Amino acid sequence: MSPLFTPIRIALLVALVAVFVAGLALVPSGTMLPVHWGPSGEADGFLPREWALLVPFLMVAVVWVIFLAITRFGKPSDIAAGRHSYGVVVTAITGLALVMEAATVLIGIGVPVNMVQVIGFALGGLLVVLGNVLPKSQPNSFAGLRLPTTLKDTANWQATHRLTGLLCIVSGLVLVAAAALVPTPALIWWLLGCVFAPILVGVAYSLRYASKARS
């Protein structure tokens, strides 16, 4: 079996297909479903039922194609070093797509779902998962903070990913709390901040670490 098709990923894919089929059966034909939300949290982009339900599939397809390309064309050393990290990412993104698909179907049948809030909870969980994975990663060209400073120095990579992983966990927990407590218009900015803050701090830390190592 391909390393892509682990039992949990197969289960997530089966569930994704099942929710898609349920959406086609339950959401009336011709219904326009939201696929994009503006800064206010209000939906401002819509697609017909069939296409809206396909959006999570397209997200998964892109991630899986990238994974397949890595395992097919990447250097064996890079694949071995990054397999666990990007494998977890593939699983997490597939799970996120399943959550989005289920929320879209619920919206289509008239259930009041705050998609921005749902995405906040899901991304918060994803950040926590990534935060636990990053410190275990090894230098590679596919997953992690792939900077000249981290790729050239294993110690820099490990220190940077330990810090970034911790920040991802903290940001994920903060985002989950924000999704539960913060009004939707402000939640958009919490989403952006919690996603990008660990990356920016990690990059700055790696550069500082390299500068101190040279001095």
Q: Are 204 and 156 in contact (CB under 8 A)?
A: no
Domains of the chain: total: 1
Q: Say if 34 falls within a structural domain.
A: yes
Q: How many CA atoms lie within 13 A of 210 on its CB side?
A: 15
Alpha-carbon distance of 154 to 35, in angstroms, equals 41
pLDDT higher than threshold 60 for residue 104:
yes
What percent of the chain has a predicted confidence (pLDDT) above 70?
A: 93
Q: Say if 55 falls within a structural domain.
A: yes
Give counts: helices (H), strands (E), the chain: 7, 2
Q: What is the mean pLDDT of residues 155-172?
A: 94
pLDDT higher than threshold 80 for residue 5:
no
Q: Say if 86 falls within a structural domain.
A: yes
Q: What share of the chain is helix, strand, coil (3-state, %, to 5)?
A: 75, 5, 20
Residue 161 belongs to domain spanning: 7-214
Beta strands in the chain (DSSP E): 32-37, 43-48
Q: What is the pLDDT of residues 114-150, one digit of tens each?
A: 888 888 999 999 899 889 988 888 887 777 788 899 9
Q: What is the mean pLDDT of residues 39-67?
A: 86
Alpha-carbon distance of 148 to 85, in angstroms, equals 19
Q: What is the mean pLDDT of residues 142-166?
A: 89
Alpha-carbon distance of 164 to 150, in angstroms, equals 12
Q: What does the pLDDT read at residue 53?
A: 93
Q: What is the mean pLDDT of residues 178-199?
A: 91
**Partner residues linked to 36 by β-bridges:** 45
Q: What is the pLDDT of residues 71-95, one digit of tens each?
A: 777 677 666 666 667 778 888 888 8
What is the separation, in whole angstroms, between the first and last Cα of the chain?
A: 49
Comparison of pLDDT for 195 and 83, the residue scoring more: 195
Single out the residue of 83, 92, 182, 86 nearest to residue 128, CA to CA.
Answer: 92
Q: Say if 2 falls within a structural domain.
A: no
Single out the residue of 108, 45, 10, 199 nearest to residue 207, CA to CA.
Answer: 199
Q: Say if 1 falls within a structural domain.
A: no
pTM score: 0.79
Alpha-carbon distance of 26 to 106, in angstroms, equals 9
Single out the residue of 4, 10, 146, 161 nearest to residue 89, CA to CA.
Answer: 4
pLDDT higher than threshold 60 for residue 40:
yes
Average pLDDT, the chain: 87
Q: What does the pLDDT read at residue 71?
A: 73
Least confidently predicted of 88-92, 95-99, 180-184, 200-204 = 88-92
The torsion angles phi and psi of 104, rounded to 5 degrees, stand at -65, -40
